[in-house]
Structure 1
Amino acid sequence: MSAPVRKAGDVATGEYDVSVVIPTFRRPHLLRRSLEAVQAQSLWLTRGGEILVVDNCPNRSAEPVVAALPVGDVPVRYLAEPRPGISHARNSGVSTTKGGLIVFIDDDNLTVETAIGDLVAALEETNASAAFGRYIALPEAACPPNSLHFIGPYSRDLGATRRDVTRERAKLGTCLSLFRRSALAKREQLFDPALGLTGGEDSALLRELAQEGHRFVYEPSAVGFEIVALSRLNRASLQRRRFRSGQIRVADAGGMAQRALWRGIGAVQFVLHAQMAAVAGLLGQRRRAEFHRGQAWGGLGKLFWRRPQPPFYGDDPLRKDVDAKAAS
């Protein structure tokens, strides 16, 4: 006999264990699969929960997806957040939910059925403030083998062992993550709206939490799969992503002295990896060459850091390709 399931009525007494927040922007074809995977989590057999979809599309493209979901043991709610930027979506999601534990899942992430339960176990067993799972990038459809040279940066794989990753926060982000609400309670706005279209809003939050003494744990058994559009599996997309990552790394460094240090690191990174890319190319090692090219572009992002940063979400032409496919 399975354990009893706590139903929606627990919200009124504040006894929901887990609130899952899924921000989304014009990707109903991916959102549907992501939601179905979260609904199927084995965690719901023993823990009370809720799922909140926060739609950042002014046309409310996610609303029909939520309305068409079958009723399950865990309630699924819809929230429209028309202010542009993922920061607004996440902030609204957290303020609207009531769980003591908050999970962030991206709309292009498919979680295995034990993933959220594994994050909860890691958090409770280590007494950390946040837990982060492992996600593996997969192309959305069959693609030429050469395209797979560019898929690595879309994954988060920090090894096969649970460990403290507080000092590695620059590698984390918030996809497939779990936070104690108590760790976030001091802030009126968790994610900086000024970074909502450029990226780096999650890095800024993690930096602040780490500075306050909060600890982060990585749980490799909490697995998800990030579905990557084929339009993003190319050299131009990889270079843009790496350049942006370099920009965020410098912005996240703190004061001007630290930023100057990271810009110097970026210069060295560019020179070394550009040379290694050239050598790998001459040896016919294409995958390795593309890796080093990406690292070189990350160095350029650090070296040429500037503020404000250019938009990466919403106005991103690669994102528009995905939007067009979703609308078709």
Structure 2
Amino acid sequence: MVETPSLVVAVLTFRRPQDLAALLPLLTAQLVAVGDLHPLARVLVVDNSPEAGARDLVARTPGPVDYAHEPVAGIAAARNRALDEARSDDLLVFIDDDERPTEGWLRALLGERSRSDAVVVAGPVVSSFAVPPGPFVAAGRFFDRRRLPTGSPIDVAATNNLLLDLRKVRGLGLRFDPATGATGGEDTLFTRSVHARGGRMTWCDEAVVHDIVPAARITPRWVLLRALSSGNSWSLTSLQLAEGLPAQLRTRLALHALGLIRIAGGTAQAAVGALLGRPYHRARGVRTAARGAGMLLGAWNVRYREYRRPSANR
């Protein structure tokens, strides 16, 4: 008799009670939908707020929902807490508290893992907006994310819609790097490390979640700082993956050059877009230049701390 793998769906939260309250019933419904495959599956809420503000909400939520408080600030600490809470489990799925899974989401992820026997299965995130994007953000399509045919191999993924085969993750000896707690990029480093160590990662295009983008993020400033942060974390993780001083030096110089190329190319594209009245090229050019600036900074270990907290009670 084949033993059924145990399953945990982990949602990390930080002071978003309304989002969490909307998400939890959807997750327990997803568990019911895969009950024939994983009858003992559970939801795990990892609360990263210092005051443990989500504890009462979770306690009032019906169904197999567990709670863990992680007082150490930072997304990496919260993700590692999820790994620790699932130390006896086989499969772990990450979803963010501001996301909403579509019907069949969890079954699709599980099905692709069974077919591919992958260490990691990732799915698409489609944005929904609290307010309509302004002209600059709309023109640049900043919230459009990749879509790939199901089964496509991938070499990097975000953790906002991700399944991990924990048995294989433990075999690779991987955890999330605490140094990325304030900078972000913990998912980039983690999944790139899986790939670098020979772990198979695949895409499941049917496993769609929607993220709810608040008005504060639908601004030129936010999307450009996110592009800078993305470039910065790519350089920093590339340097961490380079083994030995010669490899690190080569990587650093390559990232430096690539950052400069992106800054120059993006600036030129933005200028042409402005001159010719083409908003898409203007917006994408500015984004490319911002990502290049982040890469250039990261090449020389300058960290943009996107998730820094001004105090213990951010």
TM range (shorter): 0.7 to 0.9
Aligned positions, number: 298
Partner of 2:82: 93
How far the C-alpha of 1:229 sits from its partner, in A, is 1.4
- Within-5 A mapping of 1:146-165: 146=135, 148-149=137-138, 152-165=141-154
Q: CA RMSD, aligned part only?
A: 2.4
User: What amino acid maps onto 2:28 in structure 1?
Assistant: Q
Gaps of 5+ in 2: 243-247
Q: Shift of the alpha carbon at 1:182?
A: 1.3
Tell me, yes or no, if structure 1 residue 248 matches structure 2 residue 248.
Answer: no
Q: What do the CA deviations read for 1:169-220 (whole angstroms, capped 9, x no partner)?
A: 1xx2111100101122147761111111111111221222112110110111
Letter matched to residue 57 of structure 1: S
Equivalent residue, structure 2, for 1:46:
37
Q: Secondary structure at the match of 2:68?
A: strand
- Alignment partners' CA distance in 1, 2:172 and 2:58: 29
CA distance in 2, matches of 1:58, 1:132: 30
Counterpart among 52, 56, 74 of residue 60 in structure 1 = 52
Query: What secondary structure sits across from 2:225 in the alignment?
Result: helix
Question: Measured at CA, do residues 295 and 211 of structure 1 come closer, stay the same or move farther in structure 2, by a change above 3 Å?
Answer: same
Tell me, in whole angstroms, the C-alpha distance in 1 between the residues paired with 2:148 and 2:142. Answer: 15
Query: For residues 1-328 of structure 1, what are the structure 2 equivalents within 5 Å?
Result: 17-41=6-30, 42-48=33-39, 49-69=41-61, 71-72=62-63, 75-97=64-86, 98-139=88-129, 141-146=130-135, 148-149=137-138, 152-166=141-155, 169=156, 172-186=157-171, 190-253=175-238, 254=242, 255-305=248-298, 306-307=300-301, 309-315=303-309
CA distance in 2, matches of 1:147, 1:276: 15
Deviation readout 1:226-272 (Å, 9 max, x if unpaired): 11111111111111111111111111222231122022111111111
Q: In 2, are the aligned partners of 1:40 and 1:113 still within 8 Å (CA)?
A: no
Q: CA distance change for structure 1 residues 159 and 316 in 2, over 3 Å: closer, same or farther?
A: farther
Runs of 4+ in 1 over 6 A off after TM superposition: none
Give the Cα–Cα distance (whole angstroms) in 2 for the partners of residues 52 and 150 of structure 1. 38
For structure 1, list consecutive stretches of 5 or more residues without a partner in the other structure: 1-13, 324-328
Alpha-carbon distance in structure 1 between the residues aligned to 2:140 and 2:123: 18
SS of residue paired to 2:205 = strand
- d(CA) in 1 for partners of 2:108 and 2:140? 25
- Contact map agreement 1:147 1:233 (CA 8 A) in 2: no
Supply the distance in 2 between the matched residues of 1:88 and 1:165 (Cα, whole angstroms). Answer: 25
Distance between the aligned counterparts of 2:115 and 2:4, measured in 1?
Answer: 20
Please list the CA deviations of residues 79-133 of structure 1 after superposition, one character each: whole Å capped at 9, or x if unmatched. Answer: 1110111111111111112331110111111111211111111111012111000
